[in-house]
A and B are shown apart, each in its own frame.
Chain A
């Protein structure tokens, strides 16, 4: 085993003539918070779908948690967590039922599940609301619950697809605290986002433009390289060169 959670080499996805993701090569270290940035239509989601086993690459190689994305998707699925752009919990189920469901899906034993759910509920301060339907919780709580459930099985890597969309700044800050805590416990975080202030929180950031990775470094190095004060400045300079229309 090496100390890389994700390794890709010239990973490419074509839809007909359209190259959605063009020879992506990058590595993500274990426990790293890796920001995956790009405008809409730049190919972020396509790249992520290849890594989580929802889409087969056209060419190139990649391993996720040490497993091959072509042949070992089942192994990959057991070792990753995923929180989608849309809300990933069932709103007509209670908090506890959602926890039990996803715990069960990831094969947690009865005892482990009980411990986990206790810990999860107390850290989210949701103990009194465990039997409430998820739809009655405020959006911020739901997103935090959703993240906690995405890592309930202690995955090696968790993929977050724009996890903080529509959430207020305070909750976003709390959400990032949870991400840091998860990272500190050794979980690798792969996160796509639109918010440039969030990019600053990442250990390293890659910026995709027109299906290619145009920049990949720590936020500080990128700012220095592009002579600007903020990640927003970096992004503006790169995105201006984009030819593809956002979808």
Chain B
């Protein structure tokens, strides 16, 4: 036991003396949260809108003023000819154009049917789709207000509600992803690099010749990163609760428990990488390819798994972060309990055992 404590203390010296890396490990989650929370946002506000008003009457003014009132739009210019439409797009003066035809009011009164044309800049399809949705909603509101005045007897209105994320805040979707990414990177990558570093320096050989149990060596190397991982989880949760205003709907203890499981899974993956790599560079490279990219691309963090080709959906199943992110979403956003995440739990435990088993086997081969 004394051996073990001495050895863990040494690991802390290594990490604490390397102030720059330590700072990086503790600040990275905060930086990522801020980048994803404030810089990269799915909400699109203050878009430039150009209006081509051919009607120029009370009805068109009403529509225009409701666009002006919306926080999503910012009327940048009025257009006076069809030729100008393309110009505003090309000069980036507007990303959406609304055209109200001259016969708008008369058509509405005579036939109960009138058209408004919306033209959006399709070179950025995601933004364009969102803008068209916002614009359609504003026009529909106007239509509803007309309908009330006209007193039409039958009217069906669809009332939509976004459950678990009523304001459609993007923080809800990225916090679990950032947690998965950070833990994967810090625990798995750093552990593998730390172990390989000892191999590279030759100190591992000295340790293996000593009476220390090889597994004790590996466990002591993992402990500091385990603690840093827990600190990261707490930092991220604190930031998301107090800064992003995203409450933890479910059990905090369960959230912490599942995070611990995921950290252990990442640590064993790091251990596996360390048995494959002979130099720190190789360990870093493998970590990048095996950990970073799949966690970014295939975990459902950035791209929805449902939209991927079936083959990639299959591949996503072997990405540990996918299962963790599913669990965190269930616990943090939907407030579900253990019963809802047992399957993900099971998968992560299985993966951990698999990584550990293979590493132990490879470790033994190396000793032969």
Contacts and interface: CB of A to CB of B under 8 A. Distances in A.
A80 B368 CA distance: 19
**Residues of A contacting B: mostly:** loop
B6 to A, nearest CB: 3
A88 B209 CA distance: 11
Interface in B184-243: 201-203, 205-212
A56 B211 contact: no
Nearest to B9: A101
Contacts of B253: none
B202 A85 contact: yes
Interface residues of B, number: 24
Nearest to B217: A105
Contacts of A107: 2-3, 211
B201 A86 contact: yes
Interface string A9-49: 00000000000000000000000000000000000000000
B217 to A, nearest CB: 10
Given A88-B206, A92-B13, A97-B13, A104 B6 contact: yes
A101 B7 contact: yes
A77 interface: yes
Contacts of A56: 368
Contacts of A82: 205-206, 209-210
B71 interface: no
B210 A105 contact: yes
Contacts of A53: 209
A84 B206 CA distance: 7
Given A56-B368, A90-B14, A105 B202 contact: no
B18 interface: yes
A74 to B, nearest CB: 7
Contact of B201 (A78, A87, A97, A101): A87
A86 B198 CA distance: 11
A54 interface: yes
B208 A92 contact: no
A106 B210 contact: yes
A128 B28 CA distance: 39
Interface in A133-163: 159
A52 interface: yes
A54 B13 CA distance: 27
B209 A54 contact: yes
B365 to A, nearest CB: 11
B367 interface: yes
Nearest to B207: A105
**Residues of B contacting A: mostly:** helix
A80 B209 contact: yes
Contacts of B56: none
Contact of A84 (B3, B205, B212): B205
Nearest to B198: A90
B10 interface: yes
Contacts of A74: 211
A92 B202 CA distance: 14
Interface residues of A, number: 29
Nearest to A146: B206
A90 B13 CA distance: 10
Given A54-B367, A86-B201, A107-B2, A101 B10 contact: yes
A82 B13 CA distance: 23
A54 B205 contact: yes
A93 B16 CA distance: 11
A100 interface: yes
Interface string A121-136: 0000000000000000
Interface in B1-39: 2-3, 5-7, 9-10, 13-14, 17-18
A55 interface: yes
A104 B206 contact: no
Contacts of B9: 101
A78 B17 CA distance: 30
A126 B10 CA distance: 21
Nearest to A77: B211
Interface of B: 2-3, 5-7, 9-10, 13-14, 17-18, 201-203, 205-212, 367-368
10 contacts: A54-B367, A55-B367, A78-B211, A84-B205, A88-B205, A88-B206, A100-B6, A101-B7, A105-B3, A106-B210
Given A77-B210, A88-B202, A107-B3, 19 more contacts: A52-B209, A54-B208, A54-B209, A54-B367, A74-B211, A77-B211, A86-B202, A87-B201, A89-B203, A90-B14, A92-B17, A93-B13, A100-B6, A104-B3, A104-B5, A105-B6, A105-B207, A106-B211, A107-B211
- Leading 7 A-B pairs by shortest Cβ distance: A86-B202, A104-B6, A82-B209, A88-B206, A77-B211, A78-B211, A92-B17
